[in-house]
């Protein structure tokens, strides 16, 4: 069965996946610099996770959504480890990734439908 790539969901998913790849590339590059300076590996690993997640989503692979949610869970753990329960300190660490997580959750039906139509497994 031929999969349409022209529907709104398909285009929105493609744009979102490209945004994830670009955000991940910037985060990974900054993270690599931070590691070179002796800092945390978090940004490098999170950035690489976003890049891989975006690439998987571009390929209509549901694993991309689950990978992003895993990166988001790791981000929550890292944020709480770093600043504890300080709400204002958590905001910049958690709000952006949480918005992306909501969008990923909204795209899961689109990815599943497209993957099933193409015969792609997770």
Confidence of residue 1 (pLDDT cuts 50, 70, 90): very low
Give residue 9's pLDDT: 86
Is the dihedral angle over the CA atoms 108, 117, 122, 20 positive or is it negative? Answer: negative
**Dihedral angle computed from the Cα positions of residues 120, 25, 79 and 108, in that order, rounded to the nearest 10 degrees:** -20
pLDDT digits (tens, 9 = 90+) for 77-108: 999 999 999 999 999 999 999 999 999 999 99
For residues 41 and 45, give the distance between their C-alpha atoms in angstroms, rounded to a whole number.
6
DSSP state, residue 88: H
pTM of the predicted protein model: 0.89
In this predicted structure, the answer to whether residue 121 has a pLDDT above a threshold of 80 is no
Calculate ∠ Cα 58-62-63, nearest 5°.
Answer: 95
């Amino acid at each position: 069965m031929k999969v349409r790539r022209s529907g709104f969901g398909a285009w929105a998913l493609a744009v979102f996946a490209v945004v994830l790849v670009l955000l991940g590339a910037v985060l990974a590059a900054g993270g690599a610099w931070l590691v070179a300076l002796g800092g945390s590996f978090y940004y490098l690993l999170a950035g690489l996770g976003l890049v891989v997640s975006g690439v998987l989503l571009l390929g209509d692979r549901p694993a991309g959504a689950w990978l992003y949610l895993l990166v988001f869970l790791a981000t929550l753990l890292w944020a709480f480890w770093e600043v504890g329960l300080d709400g204002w300190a958590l905001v910049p660490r958690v709000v952006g990734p949480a918005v992306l997580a909501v969008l990923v959750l909204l795209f899961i039906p689109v990815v599943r439908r497209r993957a099933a139509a193409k015969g792609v497994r997770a």
